[in-house]
Amino acid sequence: MPTSVKKITVYLLLALALSSAGVFALTVQEQANFFVNSGETASAVQAGAYYVVLVNGVETAVLKPVGNDFTIVQSQGEFTVAVQAYSQNVFQNDLKPAVPGIESTFDSLKGIVDTCLKGSKWFSFNATRGGVYVAYNVRYDPFHWPKEWGAIHYIEDNVYAFEDSWNSAKAGMESLASSLSDAEVALAATANAREGLKPIRAQYPKYYEAFLNATSSNQYAYSIQAKPYPCAPDSEVSGKIDSILSAIGASKFNPPSYLVSLISNKTAERFGQATQTKQNATQSIRASELVQSAQTLNANFSSLGVTLDKFQSDLTDLQNSVGTNSFENQTAVFSARLEKYQGLYVQYNATLFSLNRAQGALTNASNRYGGSDDRVSDLKRRLDQANVELRESQSLLKTGKLEVLNLPGLNENATSIAVTAENLQPKENQFDLVTIGVVILVLALLVGGFLYLRKRQPPQAERPRIFGGNSDEIEQMDFGSENPRG
């Protein structure tokens, strides 16, 4: 896998972890990690209003909080302020409590190294074994006196530097003991003691070896006026030095002036790297949000039998753009596409529901009225065409040709089919327009005929009045003379 892909994968994993935790701002520890190279580790230590970044325990940069983010300090003035606070914390919390133990261990070491150094110098420069001639041969004859010769010349070649280092360590320890009220002086003294002890720790095994070689043939080789000045076993000396170095060996036990210079140089070396790495991680966090939404959308469509090939390709392009100049544009394009697809998912789901509803309603209608019913046949034809449009829509979703997609229209058509099928009635219960028209026409003719006949009927003659009176009234009536009453 290419390195760039590996880095992107790491950034995305980090981003996904942050997103899953509901955290979208990079912490100071996460930003400290931007300064590391392969195999290194980083930590961030608060120093007043700042944070000092240590890479493998070495002060490398200073971060300053800005809102919910952190910026890399580049000002010498701010370096100084941050380091002063940092060194004061080291002095008060780490160095002062450790001084009594350090002094005790060093006191037990001082006499051992002083004795070994004195005996070594005596042997190397004053070696005698039976007179001048023998001393000459021991010094210059590696074939007959290999052990002694090696011891003499190792000491001669290295003892001055060894002694200088030892004197520096002693001076540093003496200064440390007398400066526990001044952080700057105490840390400088600690640094001197530490740097003096490092070569002693590295070289002492050779001095002990020289002592063993010299005394293997002459037990008095390290004696001055019959008083022995031996070198103690390496394990005894190394253990004491290791104990001291473990207490004051860290880079933080340096004077502030040294740390300011160190941080300034380290920041200059790694500023570009840290800035680029932070940009990549920040972009990855933004991308991860889109990735999660896209994965959910893909899963939703997949559950409905649709694969979004073009959309997945766009997602891959977005992921590959992390750390490049095209990221912002890719993010904008993909965000818009994601939003479009999310809306289409709602439409597609609704369309499937309507088509399923239509299919169910049509099946019921077919069971009731038979598949040969012309109304059922027409609805089936419409539904078949709608399913063809659905398959075309699935293809458009897959290939990303969204501009010609019309899911709302398909959904409306499917809903219409469903409603029609659900409301289908038996034919005997239905009147078509022709039947209704005929009924209306017949009724109109009947009413018109009735009115016409009534208008054509002749008027009737007035019937005689029939009186229901008594006999006197009848007698008074005149029915004419032609019919006299007899």
Q: Looking at the structure, tell me whether residues 247 and 266 fall in a common domain.
A: no
Q: Indicate the burial class of 137 (C-beta count within 10 angstroms; 0-12, 13-18, 19 or more).
A: middle
Per-residue pLDDT, 430 = 55
Q: Looking at the structure, tell me whether residues 221 and 275 fall in a common domain.
A: no
Number of domains in the chain: 3
Spatial distance between the Cα atoms of 274 and 277, rounded to a whole number of angstroms: 5
Per-residue pLDDT, 434 = 56
Q: Looking at the structure, tell me whether residues 243 and 262 fall in a common domain.
A: no
Separation in Å, CA 398 to CA 304, 306, 309, 387: 13, 7, 5, 17
Looking at 402, 426, 450, the residue that finishes a domain is 426
Q: Looking at the structure, tell me whether residues 242 and 276 fall in a common domain.
A: no
CA angle 247, 249, 255 (to 5 degrees): 105
Residue 142 belongs to some domain of the structure? yes
Q: What is the dihedral of CA 229, 234, 240, 244, to 10 degrees?
A: 110
Q: Looking at the structure, tell me whether residues 148 and 113 fall in a common domain.
A: yes
Question: Which residues in the chain come in under a pLDDT of 50?
Answer: 1-23, 128-134, 466-469, 471, 473-475, 477, 479-486
Per-residue pLDDT, 5 = 38
Separation in Å, CA 204 to CA 168, 223, 230, 247, 249: 16, 19, 13, 20, 18
Residue 51 belongs to some domain of the structure? yes
Q: Looking at the structure, tell me whether residues 23 and 166 fall in a common domain.
A: no
Per-residue pLDDT, 8 = 41
DSSP state at residue 130: S
DSSP state at residue 25: S
Residue 246 belongs to some domain of the structure? yes
Q: Looking at the structure, tell me whether residues 275 and 136 fall in a common domain.
A: no
Residue 226 belongs to some domain of the structure? yes
Separation in Å, CA 13 to CA 9, 26, 116, 123, 298: 6, 14, 58, 65, 19
Q: Looking at the structure, tell me whether residues 10 and 130 fall in a common domain.
A: no
Spatial distance between the Cα atoms of 288 and 17, rounded to a whole number of angstroms: 9
Residue 92 belongs to some domain of the structure? no
420-446 burial: b if 16+ Cβ within 10 Å, else e: bbeebeeeeeeeeeeeeeeeeeeeeee
Q: What residues make up the domain containing 277?
A: 3-74+258-289
DSSP state at residue 70: E
Q: Looking at the structure, tell me whether residues 221 and 270 fall in a common domain.
A: no
Residue 197 belongs to some domain of the structure? yes
Element at 450 (helix H, strand E)? helix 433-456
Separation in Å, CA 136 to CA 127, 190, 226: 9, 43, 22
Per-residue pLDDT, 83 = 98
Looking at 204, 235, 253, the residue that finishes a domain is 253
Q: Looking at the structure, tell me whether residues 373 and 345 fall in a common domain.
A: yes
Looking at 273, 289, 305, the residue that finishes a domain is 289
Per-residue pLDDT, 153 = 83
Residue 456 belongs to some domain of the structure? no
Q: Looking at the structure, tell me whether residues 42 and 106 fall in a common domain.
A: no
Q: Looking at the structure, tell me whether residues 112 and 57 fall in a common domain.
A: no
Residue 314 belongs to some domain of the structure? no
